[in-house]
Amino acid sequence: MTKPPLTLYLAAPRGFCAGVDRAIKIVEMALRKWGAPVYVRHEIVHNKFVVDGLREKGAVFVEELEECPPDRPVIFSAHGVPKAVPAEAARREMVYVDATCPLVSKVHIEAARHHENGLQMIMIGHAGHPETVGTMGQLPEGEVLLVETVEDVARVAVRDPQRLAFVTQTTLSVDDTAGIVAALQARFPAIVGPHKEDICYATTNRQEAVKAMAPRADAMLVVGAPNSSNSQRLVEVGRRAGCAYAQLVMRAGDIDWRALEGIGSVGITAGASAPEVLIEEVIDAFRARYDVTVEEVETAQENVEFKVPRVLREPA
Ligand code: SF4
């Protein structure tokens, strides 16, 4: 039986970013250095496949530090942690390694600097997301106010409109955030902040590639996890860029083939925590059903790499 033709557009860049790559390396190197078990507070990155792979090698994932025994190393996830967490690990004399992405740490430093200068902070982010919790937890309670939407900006009650600064989560929608920043600047003209926002290069580049790819594709799939903020944003960006059907899939098994009936092209991308092997699995699933032609839609090239902490580069 002949297979129907299908063009697969592959967004580039897609998938793993430098922060995720570093965080996974940190867990692997810690396992080599100290042996199993190594404890990891929160999913090191938001991807079940990655987490399951590390669990098989001896990583134990917990949500809170108190679940870790004091005599085993603990690693903090790429999303960052409130200041109280490493402080507690130090108090318990634990060996800990911070896998917070350096681009998240940069936001922590910005927030601390503004606080030292006497400014109250506003954070643009998603309530409850570990990165938001981590960034807000850099400063004392009440010093960081969270806004999620333009409507929140109208409601937020600040101490002094003349002494304000803002930071953002790194994985937000570039376009939505621009609207929220504009609303903040309109209501609080004296507010200080980064040049545009703190959205990282990887989030920006993946959204740009989707904007270029989505209008050409009859449907679009984002390989990623439901709790991955940057993956969810890619689905939204795809829909807004004109792709009527944009869905998140964790793996090939999640593809709704019935919904794709009759299409001639599909765009594929992946969130920053999704490994390339899962993208290949999705492509192979299409190859099994269609006569596939792959076309890459490249909007940027990335060569960012972050070093792992020195403690892991030194012999045990
Ligand atoms: S998405 Fe951006 S901020 Fe998050 S880990 Fe990757 S590079 Fe770092």
Q: pLDDT tens across 38-79, in order?
A: 999 999 999 999 999 999 999 999 999 999 999 999 999 999
Mean pLDDT of 1-29: 97
- Kindly report whether the global pTM for this prediction surpasses the value 0.75: yes
User: Distance, CA 105 to ligand 1 centroid (Å)?
Assistant: 10
Please, what is the Cα angle at 156 between 153 and 161, to 5 degrees?
95
Residue 225 Cβ inside 6 Å of ligand 1? The answer reads no
* 12 within ligand 1 shell (Cβ under 6 A): no
Contact 230 CB / ligand 1 (< 6 Å): yes
State which ligand 1 atom lies nearest to the alpha carbon of 22.
Answer: 5
Residues 111-152: tens digit of each pLDDT: 999 999 999 999 999 999 999 999 999 999 999 999 999 999
Cα 1 from chain centroid (whole Å): 42
Our answer on whether the CB atom of 100 is closer than 6 Å to any ligand 1 atom is no
Supply the mean pLDDT for the chain.
97
Residue 1 pLDDT exceeds 90: no
- Chain segment 281-296, per-residue pLDDT in tens: 999 999 999 999 999 9
Is the pLDDT confidence value at 180 over 90? Answer: yes
CA-proximal residue: ligand 1, atom 7 (nearest) = 19
